[in-house]
Chains A and B, each alone.
Chain A
Amino acid sequence: MEVLRLENVYKNYGKNEAIKSLNFSCEEEELFIILGPSGAGKTTTLKLISGLEEVTKGKIFINNKLINNLEPKDRNVSMVFEDYALYPHLTVYKNISSPLEAIHLPKDEIDKKVKEIARVLQIEELLLRLPSMISGGQKQRTVLARSLVKKANAYLMDEPIAHLDAKLRYQMRGEFKRIQHIRKMNILYATHDFREALSLGDKVLILNKGVTQQIGTPQDIFKKPANVFVANLLGDPPTNLVEGILKAKDGQYFFQIGDVSISLSKSLADELLSKMNQEKLIIGIRPFDLHCYLKQKENAKILNTEVYVSEIAGHHNIISIKLNNTIIKIREEKSFKVSLGDKVSVDFKEEKLDFFDAISGNRIFQEAKLWKN
């Protein structure tokens, strides 16, 4: 069943169009992610749904009921705020029960709700302890329990873990995913972090400057980005994007990037030509789909190129090369060591390539029947 639906929603602040023609719907028990950089309109969207801001145009439905004119308190959506401090003088139990006590629920009902959420989050045995007597991970679970103990039609979460340090972020992301698996809540979750989106989302909407770029499952958006914006938003480092020209010579096909030409199979070139209305296009390939060789590798797609820079990223080395002024990043194992200026060959499988229109930036193979899976 549909819990939330936005139909053609606009939000203007004076002349500034913060949200343009936004359409999406969330199913029951779904964790729906809005992913985008700052200024995308994520927070505005959540505020429109919670009623903290008024829509300029369009309709918002909760449980199939139009709520445009309802007061925030009558919408029964819960805005989860970034608040990670526990009351040090209160037990874990009292920390979790505080939002319910604030709305004066009966004691036995509070008790039931606290114990239920504590069981899901595996902190049942800690309920009588003080925050100082539990581990960091347990504290995080207590915080999560406190924000979720109050039932709501939908929980709206705005960057709920963004300001935590990297370690806690990893922990909380996992906890979040697990509790959603078990408890199946209706959550709308805004983030700028692609890892959170891919890890947690049942569905992901990608927003840029108020305009929807793509809606899909994490698999969809990672493997079939709708345009270069989406491709560039996902991954660390993100997809390499290079502009070039598709050329034919003596029955052979090439993708020409400045003075470098990369051969393409005839079948691929034919399919591309049937879809393109100009010779320019952008190819995309993920850093982990590129492979670097120190010795000249026969038939490698890119021969004899220079290492622009090499950086350690934990257990990987990120090697940069330059193709016609565009930096291309290659993810290699840490054991693969090169220095600035070394000559390398770079190879990849043709089916790992993505293609985008050079003008619109849109993906060329749109249909489900892609030439790669």
Chain B
Amino acid sequence: MEKLELKNVYKHYVQGTVEAVKDLSLSLKSGELLAILGPSGCGKSSTLRMIAGIEDITKGEIYLDGEIINWLSAKERNIALAFETYALYPHLSLFENIAFPLRIRGRKDQEVRKEVKKIADMLEITNVLNKLPSEVSGGHQQRTSLARALIRPASLYLLDEPLSHLDTQQRTEFRVQIKRIQKTQNLTMLFVTHDQLEALALADRIAVLNLGVLQQIGTPEEVYDYPENLFVADFVGEPPMNFIKATLIREENNYMAKLYNQKLKIPENYKDSIEKLYKGDVIEIMLGIRPIYIYISDPVEGQTVSGEVYVFEDIGESGILTVQIGDALIRVELSPGYSFQLGEKVNITFDLEKILIFNPTTGERIKPNYSKSTK
């Protein structure tokens, strides 16, 4: 069942001069965890605030549990919120901060204690419950803010950059807790983040926004392996995807991508879509390939290019090799155990199944005729 649905939603500020969100449509199923991912200024926070009822919707409709909520106040929407700025009551203990949503609903003290203990255990803040917000770390405040949001049943939980104030290690630990709680309690959750690693790790689906426009919505795998355009391809993944300018040529019955006098075979299943593009003249394309889908191997016809080692970095759990071909630098991620000398000649082989082709003018991905990537 659709829990939340946005239909053609717009948000304008300053009498229409700033379009923060443009024609956004997306929906969220019950029990789903959706991440809205994008750089700052992409419209993700505006979207969250419109759903929460903190900001007006300029145009479009938002439905919660099948009912339109455009005109309901924030209080009237059955939505729980946890903000990046914790907004904790400074004079109340962490315990009372968490208990607050239950207290104002007049729940019995015994019940309140039980519920607070349960959620505090899950978020590992039981031993600091008696302290004031000012007496604990930012990480504990963030956990408290989340506990306060999660303590009461709601149709939807909105989290705004929920891990932003934690250091890397706390972040990975806390991420696990959030995912556990969301899955075991079957909560419907929407969170916004600028951190693609966080979105990939946590979300069932990811909506990527840029400049107020939805770029793609899909599972982490879809977004990672089949990005719709250059923006998504570039924004998601670490180390970042390689983009290589190449020229499209036709040899006999095959299409090839030519880069600095070397040729890569374009897979058969691209034929129809390439045919539409190819008019016999020089056509530039942009190849995209993730560092992990390039290998060191003996040359394979149409799949291998050679270059020189620009730099090699051994970072313990993997090796990052950067290869120079003409002006292009191509990064390859290898398993541990490799070693290279600067300037050494090296052959790198592309996994053609994983190579992506983009129209360099529009930035759109050129899709093959079949395979699951066409969905």
Give me the interface of A with B, judged by CB distance under 8 Å.
37-38, 137, 166-167, 170, 173-175, 177-178, 181-182, 194-195, 198-200, 218-219, 222, 232, 234-238, 286, 288, 308-309, 311-315, 318, 320, 327, 331, 334, 340
Known contacts A137-B329, A167-B240, A236-B317; A340 and B311 CB within 8 A of each other: no
Cβ–Cβ contact A166 & B240, under 8 A: yes
Beta-carbon nearest neighbor of B219 in chain A: A312
B10 at interface (Cβ–Cβ under 8 A)? no
Tell me if B320 and A340 are in contact (CB < 8 A). Answer: no
Query: Contact: A309 with B176, CB < 8 Å?
Result: yes
- State whether B315 touches A170 (Cβ < 8 A): no
| Beyond A37-B167, A170-B331, 14 additional pairs, beta carbon < 8 A | A166-B240, A167-B234, A174-B311, A235-B317, A237-B172, A288-B317, A308-B176, A311-B179, A312-B201, A313-B197, A314-B200, A314-B224, A314-B238, A315-B292
**Which residues of B153-182 are within 8 A (CB) of A?**
167-169, 172-173, 175-176, 179-180
| CB pair A198 B172 closer than 8 Å | no
Are B322 and A198 in contact, CB atoms less than 8 angstroms apart?
no
- Please name the residue on chain B nearest to A182 by beta carbon: B342
B310 at the interface (CB under 8 A from A): yes
B316 interface hit (Cβ, 8 Å) = yes
Residue from B221, B240, B313, B320 in contact with A334 in the complex, judged by beta carbons closer than 8 Å = B221
Q: Is B237 an interface residue (CB 8 A)?
A: yes
Set of chain A residues within 8 Å of B169, measured between Cβ atoms: 232, 238
Chain A residues with Cβ under 8 A from B197's Cβ?
Answer: 313-314
Q: Which residue from chain B places its CB closest to the CB of A286 in the assembled complex?
A: B317
**Chain A residues within 8 Å of B221, by CB:** 312, 334
**B336 to chain A: closest residue by CB:** A288
CB-based nearest A residue for B234? A167
Taking CB as reference atom, which chain A residue is nearest B178? A309
Number of interface residues of B (CB under 8 A): 39
Q: How far is the CB of B296 from chain A (nearest CB, A)?
A: 16
Residues of B within 8 A of A308 (CB): 176, 180
* A177 and B311 within 8 A (CB): yes
C-alpha spacing A238/B167, complex, angstroms: 14
- Give the docked Cα–Cα distance between A175 and B311 (Å): 8
A-B contact pairs, 6 of them (CB 8 A): A170-B320, A174-B313, A308-B180, A311-B200, A311-B202, A314-B238
Q: Contact check, A234 vs B316: say whether CB atoms are below 8 A apart.
A: yes
B197-248 CB contacts (< 8 Å) to partner A: 197, 200-202, 220-221, 224, 234, 237-240
In the complex, A178 Cα to B311 Cα: how many Å?
6
Residues of B within 8 A of A236 (CB): 168, 317
For B322, the closest partner residue in chain A by CB is A174
Contacts of B172 in A (CB 8 A): 237
Name the A residues within 8 Å of B342 (CB-CB). Answer: 178, 181-182
A311-B316 contact, Cβ under 8 Å, with A178-B310, A181-B311, A340-B183: no
Whether the pair B322, A312 counts as a contact (CB closer than 8 A) is no
Residues in A with CB closer than 8 Å to B284 are none
Residues of A within 8 A of B237 (CB): 314
Closest A residue to B310 using CB positions = A178
User: Which B residues are CB-close (under 8 A) to A137?
Assistant: 329
In the complex, A194 Cα to B169 Cα: how many Å? 12
Q: Which B residues are CB-close (under 8 A) to A38?
A: 167
Residue in B200, B221, B316, B333 whose Cβ sees the most chain A Cβ within 10 Å: B316
B356 to chain A: closest CB distance in Å? 15
A198:B315 contact, CB within 8 angstroms: yes
Task: Name the residue of chain A whose CB is nearest to the CB of B198.
Answer: A311
